[in-house]
Homo-oligomer: A and B are copies of this chain.
Amino acid sequence: MFHVVPLGTGSALPTKTRHLAGTVVRREGRSVLFDCGEGSQLQLVRGDLTRGRLDAVCITHLHGDHFFGLPGLLTTLALLEREDPLTIVGPPGLASILGAIPGFGDGGPYEIRYVELEEGFEHAVVYEDEHVTIEARPLEHRVFCAGFRYQEKERPGSIDGEGARASGVTEGWQYEALKRGEAVDLEGGGTLAPDGLVGPPKPGAAFAYVLDTVPCDGGRALADRADLLMHEATFTDEHAERAADVGHSTARQAAEVARDAHAGRLLITHFSARYTDAAPLVAEAREVFENADAAEELERYEVRR
């Protein structure tokens, strides 16, 4: 289980009510940021979202509304005397742009591990730790663009505690070993196999982050059976032609991706400044995929399998 918190739901131009693209995923005191538009670090402060460790920042593409907040965030981490390395995932060229920031040229105050995606890539695992994997796939926008899937790893199945006790298990380490699928030696002699005592592994929850793009195969693959899909919906379907021209999706198209990928829930975001109210976009999406909402800034969305 983890939480997804949108920091900004606008597109290109900031408005009085919407900030620029940025979404933080928080899981057991650790965070990953997807996109980092100008003001993202201010939204993190405003939403009490700064505690715990930031492991990675994943940037979809090099339009300013998706990454101009990075220099400020990186500088703030330095001022806070961060020592842990930080993974930054993004398009080709991102490292050299950030290298122009005073103080980050050649070896900043903490290690930045750049993972630059390559032109023409089809699939990449861009981050992995003991609990989580993040993969990237190409999207279709006016410039190089990648979407991401944040996937919790499978966890061991539940153990039948009463059955184990009845078989002679007394110690915590024995339970843990059984959960890992290992046989354990018993105090009274003999060995106990996990068969029948441990349920099937529990699949992790998944979150797909798909912007900016027209509806595309990469987005559908990332969204495949995701528990939560965040998909851009810059326009209503009335402006479908304009959306295609500028490499964006309509709310109906976002909902079609959610439906085709069998996603659990859809949050639409990245609304054009012309929509002061997201209701028409949500209504349009729900005609295709019922469990759809407009992402709300600083709302905490729980994601579980």
Contact = CB atoms under 8 A, between A and B. Distances in A.
A41 to B, nearest CB: 6
A124 interface: no
Contacts of A71: 38, 64, 68
The A interface, classified by DSSP as helix, strand, loop or mixed, is loop
A76 B93 CA distance: 22
Nearest to A97: B100
Q: How many copies of this protein are present in the complex?
A: 2
Q: What 8 pairs across the A-B complex have the smallest Cβ distances?
A: A38-B72, A100-B100, A64-B75, A68-B72, A39-B39, A14-B42, A68-B71, A62-B102
A62 B64 CA distance: 20
Given A14-B41, A63-B102, A97-B100, 18 more contacts: A12-B79, A13-B76, A13-B79, A13-B80, A16-B45, A16-B46, A38-B39, A38-B42, A38-B71, A39-B39, A39-B42, A64-B71, A64-B72, A64-B101, A64-B102, A65-B72, A68-B75, A100-B100
A56 to B, nearest CB: 21
Interface string A63-85: 11100110110011001100000
Given A64-B71, A64-B101, A72-B68, A42 B13 contact: no
Interface residues of A, number: 31
Contacts of A13: 76, 79-80
Interface string A98-114: 00111000000000000
A143 B46 CA distance: 30
A248 interface: no
Nearest to A102: B62
A19 interface: yes
A45 B79 contact: no
A110 to B, nearest CB: 15
A15 interface: yes
Nearest to A98: B100
Contact of A14 (B12, B45, B68, B101): B45
A151 B276 CA distance: 39
A218 to B, nearest CB: 22
Contact of A76 (B14, B45, B79, B80): B14
